Structures are given as structure tokens and as C-alpha cells.
Amino acid sequence: MIGMQQIHGSYVVRVSQKDDGKIIENCDGLISNDPKVTLLVRVADCLPISLVDKKTHSFGLIHAGWRGLDKGIIKKAIDLMQKELRIKNSDLKISIGPHICQKHYEVGRDVFSKFTKYPEALLQKNNKLFLDLAKIAELQLINNGVKKENIKISKTCTFEGPSLPSFRRSKTSERILVKLNI
């Protein structure tokens, strides 16, 4: 199993069996085509995004909150999969796991204004501002050649689920572990 340090950056690394047991530093995305590898991400409110291409046996796992989305981690991961693993963007199947939903994700004006090019992901209500992280991710995926019908988004909100860790709800150090291998 291979994990990542998760610093809300956009650095994506290709890994293989020789990295087994490591936590890759300064890293928020891993890609591989090594069937012996299992990728690991830890989340509590942020998006766990898995990318799979069965044709080339390639897979990737991303940790993304608003910072990572703003820094373009989705594009960086897809570009690296294309360059290193020869995937076609239109073949990618995406799954976004449990995360904080829009109505529980209030943000400040500074964060809100970074995403004005994704109006479908923005909500203003009672002088409060809310972001839909999964919608931003979906729009960025589509902008990078992923087919809409190949994107699955979990409806489970970490903030609402008392059995799930939510940093917003309880400042917890617990995390959901999402594993990916093929």
C-alpha cells in the first residue's frame, strides 16, 4: 500500500511496487499501472477521487479540497496519466467518494471568488456563501475530456453522517480511508 502526505497541493506522483509501504511526501495524487500496487487516500470532508482506465490497467487516486481544485490537481493527474500511462481521457471512469455537501460547506468571499467560472457550483443564501466541491471537480473533469456519464459522485455527506469523520463538524483527526487497486 502506498499513501501520500496530503498537503492540499497539486503534486501528482507515479508509483510502482518499489514504493510499497511509503507515504509519498508533499503529494496529493498518485497514479500507477502496477497491479501489485494499492493506493491509499485519507479524507474527512475533502474529495477522494479515483480514476480508472481498464484498457491500459491504469489507476489514480487524488485528495482534493478547494485548494487542490484551485491549483488544478485534476488536470495534472490526468495529464500525467496520459503522458506516462498512455490513457485516453475519454476512457477514464471516475468515482468521487463521500465528502462534505454544498449546504454544509460554507466558505468566505475569498475562496468563493476563486471559483466564479463554475457558477453551477456556487450558492449564495442568507448572505452566506457555499461551494459544491464535487460539482467543481465534475466540471473540471469534463473540461479535461472525461465523459459526464463516466463520473460517479457519492451522495453521502461526511458532515451529516455521524459515523463518518468530518473535520468541519468536530475538528477530528479521524479520516475515511479509501483504497484503490485494479
Residue nearest to Zn ion (CB): 157
Torsion of CA 154, 159, 165, 167, to 10 degrees: 120
Closest separation between CB of residue 154 and Zn ion, Å?
Answer: 12
- Residue 104 interacts with Zn ion (CB under 5 A): yes or no: yes
- Residue 134 interacts with Zn ion (CB under 5 A): yes or no: no
Closest separation between CB of residue 148 and Zn ion, Å?
Answer: 23
Contacts from 144-150 at CB under 8 Å and sequence distance 24+?
144/74, 144/75, 144/78, 144/89, 145/78, 145/89, 145/90, 146/78, 146/89, 146/90, 146/92, 146/94, 147/90, 150/92, 150/93, 150/94
- Residue 70 interacts with Zn ion (CB under 5 A): yes or no: no
Of 10-18, 75-83, 102-110, 131-139, which part binds Zn ion (CB under 5 A)? Answer: 102-110
- Residue 101 interacts with Zn ion (CB under 5 A): yes or no: yes
**Using CB under 5 A as the criterion, which residues of the chain lie in contact with Zn ion when the complex forms?**
101, 104, 157, 159-160
